[in-house]
Amino acid sequence: MICRHGWDAGVLFEETRKTLFCSDLFHHFGNVEAVTTSDLIGPTRQAMQQMKQGPLAGYMPYTRQTEGVLRSLAALKPETLAVMHGSSYSGQADRLLTELAGVIKENFDQA
């Protein structure tokens, strides 16, 4: 088991089943399936934009290390993303983690 920290509750990678317990990464709203093979980037981007309109704007940290952290998680080649708030994802998750770096930057980079 590998622990990676950097977000609110951190993330955990379970190596046997290649599951990344990814805390608030990929959070999204609505009445969603428990597990999906559909892309999570769109719903995650929408949730971030929705949250920016309320009192929790700026709730996710973005630093110059964010992209590197997400790339290191992608390098683990997870096959399941255990999402805390929304559908979990089953499939090749490395691409989603790499794309998420851009979505987080788009929504939270204050530079």
pLDDT at 77: 97
pLDDT band at 111 (very low <50, low <70, confident <90, very high): low
Residue 35 three-state SS = strand
Domains within the chain, CATH numbers bracketed: 2-108 (3.60.15.10)
Residue 20 three-state SS = strand
pLDDT at 30: 92
Exposed/middle/buried for residue 26 (C-beta within 10 Å: 0-12, 13-18, 19+): buried
Exposed/middle/buried for residue 104 (C-beta within 10 Å: 0-12, 13-18, 19+): buried
Mean of pLDDT values over 20-39? 94
Query: Residue 51 is encoded by which pair of tokens?
Result: 């949250």
Sheet holding 19-21, edge to edge: 2-4, 11-14, 19-21, 80-82, 88-90, 35-36
Q: What is the pLDDT of residues 55-109, one digit of tens each?
A: 988 888 888 899 999 999 999 999 999 999 999 999 999 999 999 999 999 999 8
AA identity, residue 57? A
Distance of CA 27 to the CA centre of its chain: 7
H/E run at residue 41: helix 41-51
Percentage of residues of the chain with pLDDT beyond 90: 72
Dihedrals φ, ψ of 103, to 5°?
A: -65, -40
Query: Residue 37 is encoded by which pair of tokens?
Result: 């093979």
